[in-house]
Structure 1
Amino acid sequence: MTNEREWDAVVIGGGIAGLSAAQMLGRARRRTLVIDAGSPRNRFAAHMHGVLGHDGTDPAELLRRGRDEVVAYGVVVADGSVATVIDDGDRMRITRDDGTIDHARAVVIASGIRDVLPEVEGLAALWGRSVLHCPYCHGWEVAGRRLGVWATSPASIHQIELVRQWSDDVTAFTADAGHLDSETMARLLARGIRVVTAPARALVTGDSGALTAVRDADGTEHPLGALFVAPTPALDLTFVDGLHLTRADAPGAPLAVDALGSTSHPRVWAAGNTTAPYGNVPLSMGAGSMAGAAVNAALVAEDARRAVEARRHQRNAHWEERYASDERVWSGRVNATFAAVAHTLSPGSALDIGCGEGADAVWLAERGWQVTAVDVSETAVARGRAAADERGLADRVWFVAADAGHALPEAMFDLVASSFLHSWEPDFPRIPLLRTAAERVAPGGHLLVLSHAAPPPWAREDHDGGHASAHDGPPLLGPREEVDLLGLDASEWTTVLVEVRQRAVTSPTGESATLDDGVLLLQRAAR
């Protein structure tokens, strides 16, 4: 059976960059997994340098400490390798070589690189000991000795000149770097650097196994105490080939990232030598830390989006439950205030937002309007559709079950109407929704918004004849307050009506009462 697990983030690679990313994620209380193949690039070195506060520490010891620290924050570290990473939409599917499948909302690639060394007799055995790469990492320890630089490409000329800072006795083997122009040659010779153009063929060691010389193709042995070589970086990233991540135009084709480690995929970050093949421990540590923080920030934003979406679905479910719990919620007759205002407008195309059971939309269709009516409740929309069919208006009014805040038709309308679109939820986005509605008004068209300007009389009085609290109903604003909050461009919109009208109704107990309806009618300028 396949073992499948869910994570906030999976970090691929448990080196310095990967553990630094995991540390930030663990401290952010993210459910995090690190998958580590156990082959850090600096495993051949017994000591690391240029790492403030850790100078001379064994790299393996730093990783051991790092593992202990991340585990203390709840991070799980597992030995293994990753076979594939696949985009599953709202999460990534990570399959390990042993068949284990992990799902994560984010992935950090920190798998590092392999150093591909020249195929020279004796070189690999001395790598990390007396055959070195970075003079900043190891130059102090071999300073003053006879030092050599094996130039593997034209870029190695820079390395030759760097190494000269640590010794007056430097020999450069330049056959693999190609022809050196006269200016470069003059610069090297001026610094007292010996240039050997014959190809290097083998490394010579003494009885202790330490490097003593480099033998060239002519058989000449050049005495050395240490040799610097710039290996070719190799990135083993076949496991993300299916994601088509953008690569940088640099040696090894590392992953292209921004300052926070973001790749071209929205759920994938990268840090360490997968993005900077020649980066040292502090650089990898910092990049991993930034990537971990960036992942958490992205997940925080996604958490907020998901919470809003869940709240929206919950709110929509409330309205569906309300309509489905009764055979009919409203009277089936057009709202009197709506009819009085809309009657003054010439028929055209109309969009009714929050149409409920469709009485207003059907009324418009009966008077020659071509109507699109939208409501979140499937039950309400079905009743409106049935009412339109009963009156033979199916070709004039189209009912849609959708969230008006996210799925309004892209068309423009001569009239966009919203009647009593209120909610008891304090975060109901009434004003943003009305701004979106205004965007659907065609040039020369109208925006009609009816609202409850005050609670009904029976809700304003408690059993003792006092006033109910503001928590007894949705927040209510007058039409003047709402038009100010809408903030529509005054050069594009003309205010036709901003007023409160009283409407006669019957209370739930059968008594006569009046409601205060806010009326807002705006007209968009014709082009």
Structure 2
Amino acid sequence: MDNTKYDVIVIGGGAAGLAGALTLARSRRSVLVIDSGEPRNAPAGHVHNYLGREGTPPSELLAIGRGEVSSYGGEIVSGTVTSARKAEGGFAVELAGGRAVHARRLLITTGLVDELPEVPGLKERFGRDVLHCPYCHGWEVRDQAIGVLGTNPFGLHQAKLFSQLSDDVIYFVNTAPRPTEAEREQLGKRITFVEGEVAGIEVRDDRLTGVRLSSGEVVPRQALVVSPRFVARAEVFASLGLEAVEMEMGGHVVGTYIPSDASGATSVPGVYVAGNVTDLKSQVIIAAGAGLSAAAMINNDLIEEDLEHVR
């Protein structure tokens, strides 16, 4: 049993969590970051659209962040949180292995999991030439033969975005709702529509070379865009009274998230969230900004509590 009590425990050591921890440590708060070591962007080669760090490998960006947090006295431990509950004066957090730590406030930045369409081979190439975001990876596949896998209504929107990056974009209708005649007419000049269910992908020399239809036909492609289901890593926080809810876009459920207000405060007093666990669409730089913002609100909250006890 660890009787150390921190001002704030940050659960999740990605961009949001480290930015929040840095902000708190610089405000002279005792802060502990618990990181399970499973960053969402681990398969990606580089982080993009992060001003001043464009093209930095994800692991390098996290290493820089950890060093900055540590330089201001913040603590970082590797571990998996198995439970979190309300306790006297704040919260108790238990880690796999039995360690328990306490804090006055919690900042949850556990991110999300990308649940990919059930097509063989996608998982192994996700973040390389199987993609989902034009702003994360679009430049890297510019002018290539790009396929977009239709599994839900969002696929057509992705096809539009990637058609800005290449003149050779195919939309595989697959299991998605069939495009209307109006959609076909509007997009037909920039996008080619291919009917038939997608059965798999073709890879040669560690590169995507094509998309295989159930008919056996292989359509040559160099990159394939997919629509994952974005699932918040939130199961362990049900004991706090926090549960992820579904998010809909265009009448389609795209994932789950933990709701919060603009400050990052959740429905549980003293528990804040930032990053992809609450904002499914935020990129790395946005997640980092959200972590900073939530940390500032936590610090203010703690100051108000401290002042109440001043005599």
2:264 equivalent to 1:261: yes
Alignment-derived partner of residue 82 in structure 1: 81
2:288 equivalent to 1:288: no
Alignment-derived partner of residue 195 in structure 1: 193
Query: What are the within-5 Å matches in structure 2 for residues 3-22 of structure 1?
Result: 3-22=2-21
Distance 1:164 1:14 in 2: 35
Alignment-derived partner of residue 65 in structure 1: 64
Q: Which runs of 5+ in 2 are unaligned?
A: 248-253
Residue 41 (structure 1) shift: 0.5
Q: Give CA-to-partner distance per residue, 1:300-354, whole Å, 9 cap, x none.
A: 11111122xxx2xxxxxxxxxxxxxxxxxxxxxxxxxxxxxxxxxxxxxxxxxxx
Where relative contact order (Cα < 8 A, 6+ residues apart) is larger, the structure is 2
Query: What are the within-5 Å matches in structure 2 for residues 61-210 of structure 1?
Result: 61-191=60-190, 193-206=191-204, 208-210=205-207
Residue 187 (structure 1) shift: 2.1
2:190 equivalent to 1:221: no
Distance 2:265 2:41 in 1: 25
Preserved contact between residue 198 and residue 217 of structure 1 (Cα < 8 Å): yes
Q: Give CA-to-partner distance per residue, 1:53-88, whole Å, 9 cap, x none.
A: 111110110000000000001110000011111112
Residue 152 (structure 1) shift: 2.5
Alignment-derived partner of residue 251 in structure 2: none
SS at match of 2:48: coil
Distance 1:20 1:264 in 2: 22
Q: Give CA-to-partner distance per residue, 1:441-479, whole Å, 9 cap, x none.
A: xxxxxxxxxxxxxxxxxxxxxxxxxxxxxxxxxxxxxxx
User: TM-score when scaled to structure 1?
Assistant: 0.57
Distance 1:249 1:304 in 2: 38
1:222 corresponds to which letter in structure 2?
V
2:262 corresponds to which letter in structure 1?
A
Displacement over 4 Å in runs of 4+: 246-249
Alignment-derived partner of residue 449 in structure 1: none
SS at match of 2:151: coil
Preserved contact between residue 9 and residue 108 of structure 1 (Cα < 8 Å): yes
2:2 corresponds to which letter in structure 1?
N
More moved, 236-245 vs 157-166: 236-245
2:29 equivalent to 1:23: no
Q: 1:235 to 1:246 in 2, by over 3 A?
A: closer
Distance 2:135 2:193 in 1: 22
Residue 248 (structure 1) shift: 5.1
Residue 110 (structure 1) shift: 0.2
Distance 1:180 1:4 in 2: 60
Distance 1:259 1:15 in 2: 20
SS at match of 1:56: coil
2:233 corresponds to which letter in structure 1?
D
Distance 2:106 2:23 in 1: 14
Greater C-alpha radius of gyration: 1
How many residues were matched structurally?
A: 305
2:234 equivalent to 1:231: no
Q: Which runs of 5+ in 1 are unaligned?
A: 312-527
Alignment-derived partner of residue 278 in structure 1: 281
SS at match of 1:282: helix
Alignment-derived partner of residue 465 in structure 1: none
Residue 257 (structure 1) shift: 1.2
More moved, 98-107 vs 234-243: 234-243
Preserved contact between residue 151 and residue 160 of structure 1 (Cα < 8 Å): no
Alignment-derived partner of residue 41 in structure 1: 40
Identity over aligned residues, as a percent?
40
Preserved contact between residue 234 and residue 258 of structure 2 (Cα < 8 Å): no
Residue 249 (structure 1) shift: 4.4
1:218 corresponds to which letter in structure 2?
S
Distance 2:235 2:125 in 1: 29
SS at match of 1:222: strand
Distance 2:89 2:5 in 1: 12
Residue 298 (structure 1) shift: 0.5
Distance 1:14 1:104 in 2: 17
Distance 1:165 1:304 in 2: 54
Q: Give CA-to-partner distance per residue, 1:5-41, whole Å, 9 cap, x none.
A: 2100000000000001000000001000000000111
Structure holding more helix per residue: 1
Distance 2:88 2:2 in 1: 20
User: TM-score when scaled to structure 2?
Assistant: 0.95
Distance 1:113 1:277 in 2: 8
